[in-house]
Amino acid sequence: MTGRLRHPAHRDASEVTAGSGKGYAVIDFETTGLFAQSSHRVIGVAIVHVDETGRITGRWDTLINPGRDLGRQDIHRIRAADVMQAPTFEQIAPQLVKLISGRVLVAHNARFDTGFLLAELERLDYEAELKLEALCTMQLAREFLPGSGRKLSDCCAAYDIPLVDAHRALADAVATARLLGAYIAEAPDAPGWARSVAGAAALPWPPFLGEASEWVSRDDVAPAGPVKAASWLDRITVKLPEFAGPAEQLDYLALLDLALLDRELSTHEAQALVQLAEDLGIGRATCAALHERYFDDLVHIAWVDMVLTEAEIADLVTVAQLLGLPTAAVATALVAPPVARTSKVAAASSERFALTVGDIVVLTGEMLRLRADWHAELTQHGFVPGAGVTKKSRLVVAADPDSLSGKARTARDYGIPVVSEAGLSSLLGRS
């Protein structure tokens, strides 16, 4: 596990012990949805320590692998690829309990965050008798900011507290901590502060017993965007000599075609290509040659009518980038061949994935487009919208191609391609 938690004191979460100081633990969760008692799960958490005077003394955050799809990714902007190597809630629970034990829990809309905290701990059979001393900065706004809005952004604006990267757990937790500090500064002698701190300190939570895992800060994951060729091609072993023959090379090309259906290369797909190359005994040099062959076939398909459209040019540029091909390969592709080689085009086209009438297509995740609209369009094209993934399914469409949903996991087990909504649109346009 890579990536370590960082905050001003440079302490790792595992170094924090129960009862290590009085004060407040500001907490903010990112979740797959709004309902803690349903199937919705936590996918990120941030904790900020605040002392009794309102001063921030430490901050921690980690992504969490929920083992399911991530819900409305347009809100939290977390990709499935981000959480693939993140710890589970069970693995972060030992440190999490240490960080909040003996402190007053604080959140903006505390009912939401404490609800998810207790629901996740309940799933792990953490059956301790917990005293939950909590404060809600949203509710406190009634007293300190009468007449203002209740959203975190409204409350922060009233005190000129910067709020950047809203809906990111650490940013929201830091802003909430500063808001708490502003409240304390306005009424430092109010008896409620000391009463809450004393109550929490008197009844610390028992430790969560289990094997702890290193936290993975959201700042430590790669920025959003397609997988770059160099980031996965370099993981393929340089083999000399190779033992792969034409059949193995065709298997690799077939998987490559499935991986590039939606002109994106998910982390799962890149890993699958690397693993297949290793299993088949194909070295990095041969993979590079196969990528050139695959691209060459696409070029011939694009030039079959002796006209290269803007869409076809954009498509070739995208594929060349994903395959790590030099810009010279694209420049050569844009030059019209003297004669269209129809036999080569026919052979290349026959090897490409295509949907046929009657194929079962399954959707998973929170789509940008209404699922009912997708189902209607699939039916119009003669395809069958499927409710679940079976070996008879032909294609799975996910809001995130790296989706961790049960449908996506089953599809990968069966070798069924998983594409994005854009990929489905492209396939329907070609069908």
What phi and psi values does residue 31 have, to the nearest 5 degrees? -135, 165
How far is CA 89 from each of CA 64, 65, 118, 216, 228, rounded to the nearest angstrom?
Answer: 6, 7, 12, 12, 30
Task: Supply the pLDDT for residue 18.
Answer: 41
CATH architecture under which domain 354-431 falls:
3-Layer(aba) Sandwich (3.40)
> What does the pLDDT look like over 297-345, one tens digit per residue?
889 888 888 888 888 888 888 888 888 888 888 889 888 887 655 555 5
State the pLDDT confidence band at 243, using cuts at 50, 70 and 90.
low
Give 237 or 146, the one with higher predicted confidence: 146
Q: Within 13 A of 48's CA, how many CA atoms are on the CB side?
A: 23
CA gap 166, 189 in Å, rounded: 31
- Average pLDDT estimate for 183-211: 92
118 pLDDT exceeds 70? yes
Which of 92-101, 258-267, 381-390 shows the lowest mean pLDDT across its residues? 258-267
What pLDDT is stored for residue 8 in this prediction?
Answer: 34
Q: Is the pLDDT of residue 9 over 70?
A: no
Q: pLDDT at position 156, please? A: 92
Number of separate helices (H) and strands (E) present in the chain: 18, 9
Of the pLDDT bands very low, low, confident and very high (cuts 50, 70, 90), residue 17 is very low
- Answer whether residue 241 shows pLDDT above 70: no
Q: Break the chain into its structural domains and give their ranges.
A: 13-220, 225-352, 354-431
Closest CA to 72 of 366, 299, 310: 366
42 touches 118 (CB < 8 A):
no
Distances (CA, A) of 172 to 34, 62, 159, 162, 257: 17, 14, 15, 10, 42
Which residue matches tokens 């440079």?
10
pLDDT band at 177 (very low <50, low <70, confident <90, very high): very high
pLDDT value at 233 more than 80: no
Report whether 102 contacts 18 (CB < 8 A). yes
H or E segment and range at residue 387:
none
What number is the average pLDDT over the span 271-287?
Answer: 86
The answer to which of 17-26, 57-66, 413-422 has the lowest mean pLDDT is 17-26
CA 209 to chain centre: 28
- Rounded to the nearest integer, the mean pLDDT of the chain is 84
Find the mean pLDDT for residues 405-410. Answer: 88
The CATH H-level (homologous superfamily) assignment of domain 13-220 is Ribonuclease H-like superfamily/Ribonuclease H (3.30.420.10)
Question: According to the model, what pLDDT value does residue 84 have?
Answer: 85
What is the pLDDT averaged over residues 105-133? 89
Q: What pLDDT is stored for residue 340 in this prediction?
A: 54
pTM for the whole structure: 0.68
What is the C-alpha separation between 103 and 223, in angstroms, rounded? 34
